[in-house]
Amino acid sequence: MGACWSNRIKAVNNSNTGVNSKIVSRDGNNLSVSGSKVSSSSVPQTPRSEGEILQSSNLKNFSFNELRTATRNFRPDSMLGEGGFGSVFKGWIDEHSLIATKPGTGIVIAVKRLNQEGFQGDREWMAEINYLGQLHHPNLVKLIGFCYEDDHRLLVYEFMSRGSMENHLFRRGSHFQPLSWSIRVKVALGAARGLAFLHNAKPQVIYRDFKTSNILLDSNYNAKLSDFGLARDGPTGDKSHVSTRVVGTYGYAAPEYLATGHLTAKSDIYSFGVVLLEMLSARRAIDKNRPSGEHNLVEWAKPYLTNKRRIFRVMDPRLEGQYLLDQAQKAANLALQCLAVEPKFRPNMDEVVTALEQLREPRNMQKSGQKGNTHCHPNSRSTGNPRPSASPLHV
Ligand SMILES: Nc1ncnc2c1ncn2[C@@H]1O[C@H](COP(=O)(O)OP(=O)(O)OP(=O)(O)O)[C@@H](O)[C@H]1O
Ligand SMILES: [Mg+2]
């Protein structure tokens, strides 16, 4: 990951305080943990108390000691990462009994430990259990259990061996090789399917924190969404939106949501557009280290995306030779639609999934006889638009 860990903060107002900083508005209303979410039609829709949420889920209630053993006392060298919620550690448990085992035996888990401060963390912890305790899909990370003992609040997940998409896009080091075009499309499609599943759930779930650090990858680059701490129920009945305090992450949140607090599934679509753009460009949504005029990825990239011949200015140079011009244009166009200022002009997640599925099938495009069927190498650029050489990449 880039230099942003220590800068990742929770702000208490709507001003942009830094790179990818979290947004939490002032009014302090509790995050709803009352809505019931499941993946099937048999959804209990009555509000649930904390006790009901913890008891009803099929999750293991770990003792703190068990998780201490599983992570070898939260050894610093087993730390997988750190976010606004707390630190994440690698651990081991027996696959069947779920009892802590010796390192290297049983199955690997990721244990997220809440920093013991603040109510926001408690709310997010409970929301995670409420949603992930009931929602199951191949593109959502699996929650195995939790710990709720004295002041300790922990979450236990399946281990995602390739870490987050954010690490792969922006982190330097030999462990993180640049992802190929086809893997990027695969990841985008997996994440889109996860979001589509949430949006189609009854009642609908709005994820509210879609960003590259919340897309985790397994050994085959299957993408799974993690972090449901900010998720909440979508509007029901004839309501067009839910009114909420504004939470999320700067750079990803939809402008109308930031301005009004009116939340709809289209807010997630906007965030998806930002993430797609990050995947195409390997540039961060907000990057204060870039030259002025390039700090905000969406503002900077939009003019290039609308011009077929200038799309290369946005594309990650390390992808050269891997995609067809036609594919780049389609991906850029999809991002542009998701980023429409008017929410009603953004596609829904099913349409996004369909578009990405087509992107994975370049043969369809070749059949279409469009002129963009050549692989894109620097030499094939006859547009006279040089790649922005003054823009270092975060790799
Ligand atoms: N299940 C998991 N398997 C493997 N690594 C994980 C898992 N969950 C989290 N991680 C690692 O821990 C890091 C921190 O995750 P976390 O969700 O706490 O914070 P974040 O998403 O980066 O930031 P934020 O708090 O703003 O959401 C992730 O980026 C990832 O590298
Ligand atoms: Mg996260």
Tens-digit pLDDT profile for residues 36-54: 333 332 333 445 777 777 8
Catalytic residue from among 209, 227, 287, 326? 209
Q: Ligand 1 pocket: which of 153, 164, 211, 214 to mutate (most atoms <8 Å of CB)?
A: 164
Ligand 1 binding pocket, CB closer than 6 Å: 8, 22, 80-85, 88, 110, 112, 141, 157, 159-160, 163-164, 166-167, 213-214, 216, 226-227
Residue nearest to atom 12 of ligand 1 (CA): 81
Q: Who has greater pLDDT, 217 or 375?
A: 217
Looking at residue 363, what is its pLDDT? 58
| Domains, the chain, with CATH or none | 35-158 (3.30.200.20), 165-364 (1.10.510.10)
175 pLDDT tier (thresholds 50, 70, 90):
confident
70 pLDDT tier (thresholds 50, 70, 90):
very high
Q: Ligand 1 pocket: which of 143, 170, 212, 213 to mutate (most atoms <8 Å of CB)?
A: 213
Per-residue three-class SS string for the chain: CCCCCCCCCEECCCCCCCCCCEEECCCCCCCCCCCCCCCCCCCCCCCCCHHHHHHHCCCEEECHHHHHHHCCCCCHHHEEEECCCEEEEEEEECCCCCCECCCCCCEEEEEEEECCCCHHHHHHHHHHHHHHCCCCCCCECCEEEEEEECCEEEEEEECCCCCEHHHHHHCCCCCCCCCCHHHHHHHHHHHHHHHHHHHHCCCCEECCCCCHHHEEECCCCCEEECCCCCCEECCCCCCCCEECCCEEECCCCCHHHHHHCEECHHHHHHHHHHHHHHHHHCCCCECCCCCCCCCEHHHHHHHHHCCHHHHHHCCCHHHCCCCEHHHHHHHHHHHHHHCCCCHHHCCCHHHHHHHHHHHCCHHHHHHCCCCCCCECCHHHCCCCCCCCCCCCCCC
Expressed in angstroms and rounded, the spacing between residue 361 Cα and the centre of ligand 1 is 31
147 pLDDT tier (thresholds 50, 70, 90):
very high
Q: Among the atoms of ligand 1, which is closest to the Cα of residue 5?
A: 22
Expressed in angstroms and rounded, the spacing between residue 300 Cα and the centre of ligand 2 is 26
Expressed in angstroms and rounded, the spacing between residue 358 Cα and the centre of ligand 1 is 30
Residue 112 known to bind ligand = yes
Q: Among the atoms of ligand 1, which is closest to the Cα of residue 82?
A: 14
Whether 209 is catalytic: yes
- pLDDT one-digit tens code per residue, 324-347: 999 999 999 999 999 999 999 999
Q: Among the atoms of ligand 1, which is closest to the Cα of residue 229?
A: 27
- pLDDT one-digit tens code per residue, 361-381: 765 554 333 444 445 443 333
